[in-house]
Amino acid sequence: MLLSAQNVSKSFGSFLAVRGADLAVAEGEIIGLIGPNGAGKSTFFNCLAGDTVPTTGRVLFDGVDLTRASAEAHARAGIGRTFQVPATFEDMTVLDNVMVGAFLRYRHRRDARESALRVIEMTGLARQSAQRARSLGTPGRKRLEIARVLATGPRLMLLDEALAGLTPTELQQAIALVRRIHELGITLVIVEHIMEVIMTLAQRVLVFNQGHVIAHGEPREIVANEAVIEAYLGRGHRKRRDAQ
């Protein structure tokens, strides 16, 4: 397994945001992670990426225990993540933002710049390369985050609602971008509310509710799972399904 998270919990005081979650990801997979707001998805990502230390459990990446390692150590090991609220450097240009990621791999400015420019081209940000991040708007900043993380050369990318808030055209472009990232050999775990994204991209889906993994399976099984419909997809989904 490339990533193995075992019995991961995270508490804030007496509140348990993540409760004994397990996730095993093989190299080359695309896993979808869904569930209602507040279910613990982002907190789980924080545990996987070293942005917080889990209260219980272990996180192994390529066999190495990273449970208590820093976010930078996770990034160096090859785990890249985007944030639900983009964490771009607002006063820096698009190119400089992406170079921040590239400097994880390259010591020399020229190498970092060349690598960043390649990533910018691939992510469709070439025209905005010299603009400040703050001028991009939320969809552009989400794309910029993907670019910055790509520039670190990850083996595993955790995307936290990176495709939210896009127009239908932007959404199709973003889905195509995720496919290209996958074709580079990068393994992906995607948190997303847009079921179209999950259904078209994910090979397996994990469903979170109140900190628990309540279901796990292929996308088709998941959308037919009564517990998932009850907790997340809602009765409208069941009615639409039964009407078909």
Instruction: Kindly list the distances between the CA atom of residue 150 and the CA atoms of 57, 146, 184, 200, 215, in Å, as whole numbers in the listed order.
Output: 28, 6, 10, 21, 30
Interacting positions 140-159 with ligand ADP (CB under 6 A)? none
Distance from first CA to last CA of the chain, Å, rounded? 38
The single-letter code of the amino acid at 219 is P
Cα 44 from Cα 48, distance rounded (Å): 6
Binding window for ligand ADP (CB under 6 A); candidates: 41-49, 65-73, 128-136, 181-189: 41-49
- Residue 41 interacts with ligand ADP (CB under 6 A): yes or no: yes
Question: 26: which DSSP letter?
Answer: -
Pick the binder of ligand ADP from 7, 12, 72, 230 (CB under 6 A).
12
Q: How far is the CB of 165 from Mg ion (least distance, A)?
A: 14
What is the C-alpha separation between 43 and 48, in angstroms, rounded? Answer: 9
- How many residues in the shown chain lie near ligand ADP by CB under 6 A? 10
Tell me if 201 contacts ligand ADP by CB under 6 A: no
Question: Which span (31-39, 72-80, 175-183, 196-204) binds ligand ADP, by CB under 6 A?
Answer: 31-39
Q: How far apart are CA 64 and CA 217, in angstroms?
A: 26
Query: Among residues 3, 19, 42, 86, which is the contact residue for ligand ADP, using CB under 6 A?
Result: 42
Q: Is 128 in the site for ligand ADP (CB under 6 A)?
A: no
Does residue 114 interact with ligand ADP by CB under 6 A? Answer: no
SS3 assignment for 183-233 = HCCCEEEEECCCHHHHHHHCCEEEEEECCEEEEEECHHHHHCCHHHHHHHH
* Least Å from the CB of residue 240 to ligand ADP: 24
Burial code (b: 16+ CB inside 10 Å, e: under 16) for 49-69 equals bbebebeebebbbeeeebbeb
- 228, 211 in Cβ contact below 8 A? no
38 binds ligand ADP (CB under 6 A): yes
DSSP state of 134: G
As a whole number of angstroms, the distance between CA 120 and CA 127 comes to 9
Please, which residue, 10 or 94, has the CB nearer to ligand ADP?
A: 10
Residue 130 burial class via C-beta count within 10 angstroms: exposed 0-12, middle 13-18, buried 19 and up: exposed
Please identify, using beta-carbon distances, which residue of 119 and 142 lies nearer to Mg ion. 142
Q: Of 34-42, 67-75, 99-107, 115-123, which part binds ligand ADP (CB under 6 A)?
A: 34-42
Distance in Å, CB of 83 to ligand ADP, minimum: 11
Residues 84-103 that bind Mg ion (CB under 5 A): 84
- Least separation, in Å, of the C-beta of 191 and Mg ion? 6
Residue closer to ligand ADP, measured from CB, 66 or 191: 191
Residues of the shown chain interacting with Mg ion in the complex, contacts defined by CB under 5 A: 41-42, 84
Using CB under 6 A, list all residues that contact ligand ADP: 12, 17, 35, 37-43
